[in-house]
Structure 1
């Protein structure tokens, strides 16, 4: 009889100030915050309504407890849960498991209470709704809990905490009934307050802002901004990763002292990644703009200069970049780090960093460094522009970084936009980290509707999946093949993290570009409020913390009502958005301030207009109610359609190894059929080669022959006659380094030729494999088909596509020991 599954949902319970042993270990005392207001429905943070009196960077971690929001049992006969909702009591009557959902990803450890446990019990945690099944050479997420009196705690590392959304109690053996009397996750947190806020007419964007903030908050560790990764070896602050993380932290929390601490922590560690050294410089610039902290800037001038000088030294030499991002177009992480696209992107980031540091040095008063780094930037961009088509080979990432230099004219930006930013699929970078720079470029090209569309696709898609934090990488097409909160593909980044603070850049972007609040001089002594609502938003409101106090603003272009609050010690420029309407008049605090021309008021210096805004400059501290009278309507935004050049034809789980007369009419490759990595193949005339690549050691994937001389029909036949006996064989990827769990197969085609290609997968040794397949154009590395997952290939399964050019497939592990490939077949289209 199969297992039956039963679930119950109930309200989350929060325990604050618990003085028990559970909350008083490893330096995590109960939180000292006080409850203030109600939970924000758009935030996944269960303690967003708790406030600390005076949080500081020197504070230690504190703790709070959460109880499950729902649970599922494997068999109701083994678990009597009648009394759980009221008293948290579960009576265990047999073997099986209970899965608890704590409602959102948390940074903590899991424990349960039992006064009378008997038999063998294990516990597991996961970010998704199945237990992790990482290979045995990686730290397990399933262990026998440590007994502490009547408490049983899952201790997976010396610091205890991990990223926890789901937890399991596995009853492995049973002798007599016993009771579970309490289950909880003990969460760690740094004292930090939400001094910033964001809301708009699109609740998805509002959720994105708060989800990004919560992602950063979970990763504010004791001494630095790091990661609560589930199964990774890089639990420390990566210099480049910290750039969007710190940016989001400043607009959400205003915890400048902690950001300063992390800048110091990362100042001498670029982890061998040249681009990360430049992102550190951009982080220093960001921090200075937001805080006006001249002492910290002065402290790091020499450090920043050394990084910038190094970039100048290697500019144009095609340096070893090591890493520029996980995106296929950037070299797939550490696989192909020196492709033209990342090399071009690095040049653009260098020019941007030189230019922006020059501007900061001008304000600081170091005219020598202002001139030096401006000369670096102008020299290199001038050299490039001697060729009118200097940017024609730039893809999405290099194009975005080029726009962000601030040196492009309107024709150059238009060409880059049309080339790389109008493809709804491929204007999305694989990693939210890299997409942060893409949406910055969208804003600089005044393409806010397109930027918001891409944000909804990338960051909104993660929320639709069920995410409560943002991921290390993500493709929107995952949602069609991955169940809600289900296991996601593990790819060239290794085991995908579902709580990665580098993905929080959208939070800062929404505050700066949609709400529109950003400094124009260090420490917000002057600032802009220029909201960009585009054609899809009707209102926006929020707050940005500054060293001089909170700046708050709200704009509603449907009612014309706006409110702005400016703290003492600042002067602002406020833009009243036209949103492609005509502004007839503007009243400030009941007094006419604009009716086509400026009306003198003591609260501001002057007013002007352009196509986007009516600007009020030199706006003095105070509270302003603004009433705008509009005429006309904003045009509708035409959302682009997703277009995939290749066609996915389908999955065949019937044919098994009997490919003859069904597949391979033009040719075939039987992977490793002859052993030692040697394929048995007959290629069509239009195919010049089928090649494989595995990242570890820049080598071929591994290979295995499972069985020779077999009559098992799952094994591929040796010929189109479906003959026996057969060989069961495959290529696979597996390594001590987790990024070695993926491999690619590239099919080289002569020119263009319509053809069908089918990939054969078989889970011969019954490892419960699920395999994700990505399809790219081999020349451009653009994604040309939605990601597909082979859910079950125990009996063999074919995935079939049609295309007309050279193609690259990436084979990724989702579940099981590894990903495998056993055959490639070609047919006329």
Structure 2
């Protein structure tokens, strides 16, 4: 694949030049692939700092002192600097994503509390004046802060980080996708959109930078193979640095919206790894990438299998690559058949036997989240099948599953779906997925679910019933998308501002990327009793599954979404709430898509640019009954591709 990421233009068409657009102030990506620190975070002991005329820093340390430097945003890669000392081991380096864990040892890449295996990296150099770069094996996937621990008298200068992510983007700020809302109260929306984009950019990882397991003790190593092609889209910058199909259900679309060809390449490479390791007998897709303990232990997952199929369908939609789809159709058919073969003849639902999932508890049985994912996977791929008999068969199976789902799982008294057929728990994941993926039967049912989900909210966000004391931006992102899909626009905006506003501005986060998960009171002790062993410094602060708002603001608020392969068909369904002006642009394999919607007086003005060979549909708020396309009044809501100016009144 080729990319125009270093051209200095907003897209391959070359009509929007960087530097002229109001949204560029929100872009968080470094302007250089070798940025230096932006500030001194802390000084302890007999140490001092100076700032040179070029804004670089000079550090003077003695034994027992330390200086912590702040890069301003999450970065990742290898630190380099000039060293002046008579000692062969004059200092050590410690890394942290969160300011909470800025100290003389690094935050954790293994969930082992109080062991602190990562420790600090000892810098070994020749005495005198020399240049140092971290060894390749000591690559650090994600950090904002680096602490220099003095072990002798030493002067450090010319500090830089060689950025190790998004290696397919020479210009890190050159992603073609953008979003911008101009209303004063929309600042947080813009900030969240670009934080989501940057989070995923930090998750585009070179193939030889997976987390080595078992963990080196003391220390760390990032030299495991992520997959079959490079770069891959992984779950997190610091950890796990692995391909997880469930995460890609959110992060894949974010990558493709924000970064065009570079994002599609990373998604495609991760999917190629799933196909490579697909079970040839059953069709089951892997639960995780080959550098994980889950993969090596033979762990499997029914939900992540379905997520993998959904990610395949999303990639096909954004890439428009029919040849790629045809090449893998046998694998896809086998994977869909895995689901169809496991639909119980009595209930019509899949019994969850491979119970690994996103970290929740209480899996198994005729699980509502699993069966909602199954439905979405079957429907999405039926729409892409070129075999009419197969498409019809899959569509029928999906319809039967939807009917069975409502018969077996709907709790009319609660206005929510149950987690399975033997429990009274009403899960966040199952209800969000059912609402998002259209398993509801009518608008009344959809409204009830949206209202029911809100009952889980506290002052920060939704506390998920299926993992107590937890707020998960992954599942809350699915809920966010579901509220917008149900037409509950105000509820969607409230959730977005409440939770993601906290994740951007909370003092324990990076201010530039989105955390993996938090506790109900907002701390980093995520999943403490479910795998993370009360190790808050293990929690990832740059996790792509938390980026659902980046999709929601384009596809649901602006309402601009691609439907057919490459966007040959598309839709504009604005739901601006109280906003008055929103615009966005992105690139698919077919070309450039851009839309703006402005509410002015009694008019809604829509400006569109789409590839000429495409066709779209306008779905407008009911208050707008008259439409003029390019100054021609039309009763038809179908719009041909190209540049179009539309006035609605």
User: Which of the numbers 189, 192, 209 marks the counterpart of 2:193?
Assistant: 209
* Contact 1:292-1:523 at 8 Å conserved across structures: yes
Look up the match of 1:64: 33
Aligned pair 1:474/2:518, yes or no? yes
User: Which of the numbers 336, 352, 355 marks the counterpart of 1:308?
Assistant: 336
- From the two aligned structures, give the one with the greater strand fraction: 1
| Structure 2 Cα separation of the partners of residues 368 and 538 of structure 1 | 46
| Structure 2 Cα separation of the partners of residues 476 and 367 of structure 1 | 48
| Structure 2 Cα separation of the partners of residues 412 and 584 of structure 1 | 28
Look up the match of 1:102: 71
| Structure 2 Cα separation of the partners of residues 187 and 153 of structure 1 | 13
- From the two aligned structures, give the one with the greater helix fraction: 2
Look up the match of 1:657: none
Shift of 1:275: 0.8
User: Which of the numbers 272, 276, 287 marks the counterpart of 1:270?
Assistant: 287
Identify if the C-alpha distance between structure 1 residues 117 and 455 changes in structure 2 by more than 3 Å, giving closer, same or farther: farther
TM-score by length of structure 1 reads: 0.59
Shift of 1:94: 6.0
User: Mapping of 1:756-771 within 5 angstroms?
Assistant: none
Identify if the C-alpha distance between structure 1 residues 423 and 115 changes in structure 2 by more than 3 Å, giving closer, same or farther: closer
Identify if the C-alpha distance between structure 1 residues 145 and 287 changes in structure 2 by more than 3 Å, giving closer, same or farther: same
| Structure 2 Cα separation of the partners of residues 292 and 73 of structure 1 | 50
* Contact 1:198-1:515 at 8 Å conserved across structures: no
User: Mapping of 1:289-688 within 5 angstroms?
Assistant: 289-315=317-343, 316=349, 318-326=351-359, 330-331=360-361, 336-338=362-364, 343-361=367-385, 364=386, 366-386=387-407, 389=411, 392-393=417-418, 394-410=426-442, 411-425=444-458, 427=462, 429=464, 430-465=471-506, 466-475=510-519, 477-478=521-522, 491=528, 492=530, 494=532, 495-534=538-577, 536-558=578-600, 560=603, 561-577=605-621, 582-583=623-624, 588-589=629-630, 591=631, 593=632, 599-600=633-634, 606-607=635-636, 616-624=637-645, 626-628=646-648
* Contact 1:65-1:185 at 8 Å conserved across structures: yes
User: Which of the numbers 261, 275, 287 marks the counterpart of 2:269?
Assistant: 261
Look up the match of 1:780: none
Identify if the C-alpha distance between structure 1 residues 538 and 440 changes in structure 2 by more than 3 Å, giving closer, same or farther: same
SS in 2 for 1:208: helix
* Contact 1:117-1:179 at 8 Å conserved across structures: no
* Contact 2:45-2:65 at 8 Å conserved across structures: no
Identify if the C-alpha distance between structure 1 residues 251 and 73 changes in structure 2 by more than 3 Å, giving closer, same or farther: closer
| Structure 2 Cα separation of the partners of residues 472 and 386 of structure 1 | 34
* Contact 2:433-2:482 at 8 Å conserved across structures: yes
Aligned pair 1:79/2:48, yes or no? yes
| Structure 1 Cα separation of the partners of residues 648 and 45 of structure 2 | 62
Q: Structure 1: state its 5+ residue gaps.
A: 1-30, 48-62, 594-598, 601-605, 608-615, 630-829
Look up the match of 1:122: 92
User: Which of the numbers 142, 146, 153 marks the counterpart of 1:167?
Assistant: 146
Identify if the C-alpha distance between structure 1 residues 381 and 627 changes in structure 2 by more than 3 Å, giving closer, same or farther: closer
SS in 1 for 2:384: helix
- Deviation track 1:110-155 (CA, whole Å, cap 9, x = no partner) reads 2321233547411111101213354575641512124377123444
SS in 2 for 1:565: strand
Look up the match of 1:151: 131
| Structure 1 Cα separation of the partners of residues 364 and 250 of structure 2 | 24
Look up the match of 1:182: 158
SS in 1 for 2:328: helix
| Structure 2 Cα separation of the partners of residues 117 and 454 of structure 1 | 56
- Deviation track 1:191-235 (CA, whole Å, cap 9, x = no partner) reads 334121101131211111111111111121231424485764x43
Aligned residues between the structures: 535
SS in 2 for 1:81: strand
SS in 2 for 1:240: helix
SS in 1 for 2:245: coil
| Structure 2 Cα separation of the partners of residues 553 and 281 of structure 1 | 29
Shift of 1:422: 4.5
Look up the match of 2:232: 225
Shift of 1:313: 3.4
Look up the match of 2:221: none
* Structure whose alpha-carbon radius of gyration is higher: 1
- Deviation track 1:390-416 (CA, whole Å, cap 9, x = no partner) reads 755343221122224424222332332
| Structure 2 Cα separation of the partners of residues 76 and 323 of structure 1 | 48
Kindly report the root-mean-square deviation, in angstroms, between the aligned alpha carbons of the 2 structures.
Answer: 3.1
- Deviation track 1:706-755 (CA, whole Å, cap 9, x = no partner) reads xxxxxxxxxxxxxxxxxxxxxxxxxxxxxxxxxxxxxxxxxxxxxxxxxx
- Of residues 137-146 and 350-359 in structure 1, the stretch that sits farther from structure 2 once superposed is 137-146
Shift of 1:471: 1.6
Identify if the C-alpha distance between structure 1 residues 219 and 395 changes in structure 2 by more than 3 Å, giving closer, same or farther: closer
Identify if the C-alpha distance between structure 1 residues 566 and 459 changes in structure 2 by more than 3 Å, giving closer, same or farther: same
| Structure 2 Cα separation of the partners of residues 584 and 241 of structure 1 | 40
| Structure 2 Cα separation of the partners of residues 572 and 317 of structure 1 | 36
Structure having greater relative contact order (Cα 8 Å, sep ≥ 6): 2
SS in 2 for 1:415: helix
Identify if the C-alpha distance between structure 1 residues 473 and 526 changes in structure 2 by more than 3 Å, giving closer, same or farther: same
Q: Structure 2: state its 5+ residue gaps.
A: 10-16, 207-229, 279-285, 289-299, 344-348, 419-425, 465-470, 533-537
* Contact 1:123-1:170 at 8 Å conserved across structures: yes
Aligned pair 1:41/2:48, yes or no? no
